[in-house]
Structure 1
Amino acid sequence: MNAPDNLERRARALYREASRQIDPATAGKLRAAGSEALAAAAAPAHARFARMLVPAGAFAAIAVAALMVFSPRDSVPLPPAGAAQTLEADGDLPPDLSNTDPSLMQNLDFYDWLATNDASQASR
């Protein structure tokens, strides 16, 4: 128990002697650095958080730009399964040739004639 007390007393004595022998310019710089460190530690947390938002925002912007540049452009998102059936049921779009019966595509003139005659029958 005696050794740590002796070490502590010797360290304090060396610190006091060194602080008396330091030149005034260096002492002023040390005091200024110490006061800056205390002021930075006492700064509000939101100011430190705001300083972190700038690099984080820049990183996010770079990531979004990289995703836009390197994303494949030829891929088309597929509609949900229910939406495709709804569009076909409504008849707004022509049928997809890969999904229709080939026998329906044989007599297209007949279907055109039928559509024009249905319109004329409806107007009577």
Structure 2
Amino acid sequence: MTSSDKNRPDQHLEHRARELWHAAAQRIDPATAGRLRAARRKALEPSRATPHHTIRWLIPTGAFAVIALAAMMVWQPLPQRHAATSTQAVNAADTTTDLDNDLPPDADKTDPNLYQNLDFYGWLAANDSPPANR
């Protein structure tokens, strides 16, 4: 037996069911056919209305989002800085720009404790020699 022989009874049953369905569809009275068409239209109506409904709300929603974004950008409160905070920020900015220079920092912009042992730093620089290879 081949695979087409195995499916043969199912194909016959399917063919017979289609014939009976078509014959019954031809004998439906007009009132029942009208009710079936109305039910079909009613069932298919929400699927047609969904894209229209989405598009109808898409434009106002996008406009509201744009207005909200513009309002947030225009009426954004300015940051309030205290005098001490702004002075620290200026000193921090000066320090970062000084780090890029090859010159040592100014005495008024650095920590005074760094200048406490200048003799030691001078001695360390004079005696700094590369380690000997072993």
Q: State the TM-score bracket (shorter-chain normalisation).
A: 0.3 to 0.5
- Structure number with greater CO (CA < 8 Å, separation at least 6) is 2
Which protein is bigger by CA-based radius of gyration? Answer: 2
